[in-house]
Amino acid sequence: MVQRRRSSNWRLWAVVAVIGVATLVITARLAQLQILDHQRYASEARLTHVSQETVSGRRGALLDRNGYPLAASEDTYDVMVEQRAWKDSDTAAKAAQAISAVTAGQPDAMLAAVAGTDVFEVPVIRGLNYEQATKVRQLGLNGVRLLLSSSRVYPEGNLAAQLLGFVGRDNIGLTGLEADLESILGGAKGSRTVEHDGLGNQLAWGTNHEVAPEPGSDIVLTIDRYIQRLVEKELDAAIEQHKAGGGTIIVIEPKTGEILAMASRPSFDVTKPDLSDESKVALFRNRAITDQYEPGSVFKLVTASAALDTGAVGPDTLWYDSGVVNVSGWSIYNWNFSANGTQTVTQILSKSLNTGAAWLAQQLGPDRFYQYVDRFGFGRSTGIGLSGEAPGRVRTPQNDADNWSPVDMTTNSFGQGISVTPLQMAMALATIANDGLAMKPHIVKEIISPSGRRAIQPEPLGQVISPETARTLRQMMGVVVDGIPKSLLDVQGYKVGGKTGTANIAAGDGGYRPDAYISSFVGVVPEENPVLSVLVKIDEPKDVPWGTVVAAPAFQRIVQPALAYMRVPPDQPVLVSEIR
Amino acid sequence: MATAQKTHKTSAVSELLRSPSLPALLTIAAIVIGLAALLPLVQSSDATSINGNIQKLEQEKSDWQARLHEIELGVASLGSLDHIEREATQRLHMKPPQSVQYITVDVPAPAGHKLPSRFLPPQPEPQQSGSSIWHKLFGWFPLP
């Protein structure tokens, strides 16, 4: 009896021990799961049940100086499909067919998008408008929801395409102002965190946290859509008429430095930018600030300004043109190889004499000549605030003593052997138009945020030449324009000052390309008190190279309607008529 | 006396237990407890319903905003220079002028058109001049 009781006690204790050990193991495991590794498992659970999506605020609009939108955002919708809701092929096919019927999407592409992924949900069609989105919502399909997105719209079409730039699919600016002003236009992104049950339905009592996005600010540009359109139309016409390779036109308000229009060709379709073709990427750049060229005879204005401002010469100072200037073993000739005898400084400009410009530079000497080149802003960026701006290239005795020679200054005096951007040249002209006071060029006029408006004030950079010198030079530019046939340049009712240029194009091997020229015209109007300064540059015209023939007529066709549009009264109070 | 009272108490409890009203009391208690348990459920249901309504209203707000933005851009497109030119030449059969005449007059030019305000925020309301009666009252006190 005692033996039997001992045996049953042993078995009982064994069972108790097993249960005890099992309990300890389970307790230890629970402690590991719920205490030691709590954070890890809790975060894994959150990842499964809690989803977070980034919410973008409405991107700010780019407006012209009068408030007309050049680029604005439109709300669009992306159709998101839960992968497991379309696991059944019949259900998926019917749903895709139903969506396709109201959106004109491809059902096969939608099915492929869902089948080819293992993420929770995927977009099957993007960019639906409000009407289409409403129809999709009314379908009431299981596992299908609409995600609010936005797309960029250009009410004025391709106007100022290179300047404005475009945004990517994620609504972030890729080129132009869209990229440069991303921090202002884009606003601040928000987020939406929600908790789902096992079926993917949102839990009413679960995590539901939303950080509202901040909308981007609208930006008012200095661009005037009317003048910009006029400029682009005339640029296209000039390029077509002269079978040119491209060109650039810039219109500036000299008193403020505001860019009223800036256009370059060739350009691209901003509504459908082609990012797949690398050869077309070059079309996206704003050539008015990125491309450097040798300006040619229009640069004689800078040389003449310096010579007049230092008092080295006056407009009527006489000089003898023998037709050639010899410097450091090089012979410099006039563009038509002419020898003009006794000439005034004004005639150096009106006849565009290379030998005369070389003489003016020699009167100044390299120090003073390059000092004025620097004061006009050549060789450094203008500070307009657009990315990709080239500084230009000016070789001086100071910055390149080993390679600089006196012949460099001689060729620089008539705009060869020096590289500038179209904007630099246009700003030098604007300085002359603004009585010698250089203004910082700017493209943003005002920023309108939900908290208020901030106007960008014009910023003077400094007095480059005296007001008297600037006025004298404008009168000399008036003489230059008087010498241009009326059939090519005649702005009815207004006195115009200007300068033509026909520049060789550098070949890259130190020489120049044969029969390849840049034709340009820079002008200010009205000459007495300019409200517009305009640079017209046409690249490689095929018929005639002369700036007088190629660029000056475009200048006239731009400023004539622009002055009327800007309500600038004609110089003389008379009845003026124009017959076209 | 005390013994008699205790006996009386015990008998009252036992009477209650034996009373035929006990099931009724228990039923009432169960119903009260059941209703109390139902209360969080009702609250939860109500909150879910409100949450659903909020989401629906947010959706409606979002839809109206989208519609508004679409109309804004539609108006902007109608005011584009290309559209104006197309309407002028194709619908109204207008042509560029053959002759342009500029006439100088001795009166100032008319004011330019105001900016289209659809993309601009509303101007702030002008501050009301004068102070309220409370400001005037406080003004009498020598406050810093």
Greater model confidence, B104 or A536: A536
Cβ burial A505-539 (10 Å sphere, 16+ → b, else e): bbeeeeebeeebbbbbbbbbbbbeebbbbbbbbbb
Mutation target to probe the A interface, by most A beta carbons within 10 A, among B83, B95, B100, B117 is B100
* Mean predicted confidence (pLDDT) in B119-143: 58
Position A574 scores a pLDDT of 55
Residue A420 has pLDDT above 90, yes or no: yes
**Option in A58, A218, A577 nearest B101 (CB):** A577
Summarised one tens digit per residue, pLDDT across range A482-507 is 999 999 999 988 999 999 999 999 88
Task: pLDDT band for B48, please (50, 70, 90 cuts).
Answer: confident
Position A372 scores a pLDDT of 97
* Mean predicted confidence (pLDDT) in A211-240: 94
Q: Which region among A351-355, A363-367, A449-453, B79-83 has the lowest average model confidence (pLDDT)?
A: A449-453
**Option in B70, B96, B102 nearest A130 (CB):** B70
Position B67 scores a pLDDT of 85
pTM, 2 dp: 0.81
Summarised one tens digit per residue, pLDDT across range B57-70 is 988 888 888 888 88
Determine whether the interchain pair A492/B102 forms a contact, defined as Cβ–Cβ distance below 8 Å: yes
User: If 0-12 CB within 10 Å is exposed, 13-18 middle and 19+ buried, where does residue A441 land?
Assistant: buried
Determine whether the interchain pair A75/B66 forms a contact, defined as Cβ–Cβ distance below 8 Å: yes
Task: pLDDT band for B2, please (50, 70, 90 cuts).
Answer: very low
Taking CB atoms and an 8 Å cutoff, what residues of chain B touch A205?
A: 44, 47-48
CA distance B9 to A553: 122
Residue B79 has pLDDT above 80, yes or no: yes
CA distances from A304 to A278, A349, A413, A505, A536 (A): 43, 8, 9, 23, 20
Summarised one tens digit per residue, pLDDT across range B8-46 is 556 666 776 667 677 788 889 999 998 898 888 888 888
Cα of B120 to nearest chain A Cα, Å = 7
**Option in A155, A229, A570 nearest B102 (CB):** A570
Residues sharing a CB contact under 8 Å with residue A300, sequence separation 6 or more, in sequence order: A348, A349, A352, A357, A413, A414, A415, A499
Task: pLDDT band for A511, please (50, 70, 90 cuts).
Answer: confident
Position B140 scores a pLDDT of 67
Position A577 scores a pLDDT of 57
* Mean predicted confidence (pLDDT) in A98-118: 86
Q: Does A108 touch chain B (CB under 8 A)?
A: no
| Tokens of residue A102, six digits | 């109201």
Residue A90 has pLDDT above 60, yes or no: yes
Q: Which of residues 75-134 of B touch A (CB under 8 A)?
A: 76-77, 79-82, 96-104, 106, 109, 112-113, 115-117, 119-121
Position B127 scores a pLDDT of 53
Task: pLDDT band for A208, please (50, 70, 90 cuts).
Answer: confident
Position A159 scores a pLDDT of 95
Determine whether the interchain pair A75/B112 forms a contact, defined as Cβ–Cβ distance below 8 Å: no
**Option in A155, A578, A579 nearest B76 (CB):** A155
CA distance B143 to B141: 6
Is the separation of the CB atoms in A52 and A191 below 8 Å? yes
Determine whether the interchain pair B82/A156 forms a contact, defined as Cβ–Cβ distance below 8 Å: yes
CA distance A124 to A131: 18
Considering A12-16, A60-64, A169-173, the range whose residues carry the highest mean pLDDT is: A60-64
- Percentage of residues in chain A with pLDDT exceeding 90? 63
Interface predicted TM-score (ipTM): 0.75
Determine whether the interchain pair B70/A493 forms a contact, defined as Cβ–Cβ distance below 8 Å: no
Position B3 scores a pLDDT of 46
Nearest by Cα to A222 from A441, A532, A433, A389 = A441
Position A578 scores a pLDDT of 56
Position A193 scores a pLDDT of 82
Determine whether the interchain pair B48/A229 forms a contact, defined as Cβ–Cβ distance below 8 Å: no
Cα A457 vs. chain centroid, distance in angstroms? 21
Determine whether the interchain pair B76/A68 forms a contact, defined as Cβ–Cβ distance below 8 Å: yes
Reduced to 3 states (helix: H, G, I; strand: E, B; else coil), residue A215 is coil
Residue A187 has pLDDT above 60, yes or no: yes
Considering A384-388, A422-426, B4-8, B21-25, the range whose residues carry the highest mean pLDDT is: A422-426
Q: Does A564 touch chain B (CB under 8 A)?
A: yes
- Percentage of residues in chain B with pLDDT exceeding 90? 16
Position A345 scores a pLDDT of 95
Residues sharing a CB contact under 8 Å with residue A77, sequence separation 6 or more, in sequence order: A127, A128, A129, A130, A132, A133, A136, A146, A147, A148, A149
Residue A575 has pLDDT above 70, yes or no: no
Q: Does A111 touch chain B (CB under 8 A)?
A: no
Q: Does B74 touch chain A (CB under 8 A)?
A: no
Beta-strand relationship, A62-63 and A218-221: parallel
Q: Does A573 touch chain B (CB under 8 A)?
A: yes
Q: Which of residues 145-174 of A touch B (CB under 8 A)?
A: 148, 153, 155-157, 159
Nearest by Cα to B100 from A17, A130, A123, A491 = A491
Position A546 scores a pLDDT of 92
Neighbour count for residue A404 (Cβ, 10 Å):
16
Task: pLDDT band for A74, please (50, 70, 90 cuts).
Answer: confident
Residue A175 has pLDDT above 50, yes or no: yes
* Mean predicted confidence (pLDDT) in A296-312: 96
**Option in A66, A129, A493 nearest B102 (CB):** A493
**Average pLDDT, whole number, for chain B?**
75
Position B129 scores a pLDDT of 53
Is the separation of the CB atoms in A523 and A413 below 8 Å? no
Position B131 scores a pLDDT of 58
Greater model confidence, A149 or A478: A478
Cα of A551 to nearest chain B Cα, Å = 23
Greater model confidence, B142 or A57: A57
* Mean predicted confidence (pLDDT) in A229-242: 96
Position B91 scores a pLDDT of 94
CA distance A35 to A277: 57
Determine whether the interchain pair B120/A130 forms a contact, defined as Cβ–Cβ distance below 8 Å: no
Residue B7 has pLDDT above 70, yes or no: no
Q: Which region among A272-281, A560-569, B89-98, B127-136 has the lowest average model confidence (pLDDT)?
A: B127-136
Mutation target to probe the A interface, by most A beta carbons within 10 A, among B50, B55, B73, B113 is B73
Position A104 scores a pLDDT of 81
Greater model confidence, A207 or A321: A321
Task: pLDDT band for B4, please (50, 70, 90 cuts).
Answer: very low
Position A33 scores a pLDDT of 87
Residue A446 has pLDDT above 90, yes or no: yes
Nearest by Cα to A335 from A176, A133, A546 = A546
* Mean predicted confidence (pLDDT) in A449-474: 94
**Option in A153, A567, A570 nearest B73 (CB):** A153
Summarised one tens digit per residue, pLDDT across range A459-470 is 999 999 999 999
Residue B126 has pLDDT above 60, yes or no: no
**Option in B52, B82, B119 nearest A63 (CB):** B119
Q: Which region among A24-33, A34-43, A395-404, B86-95 has the lowest average model confidence (pLDDT)?
A: A34-43
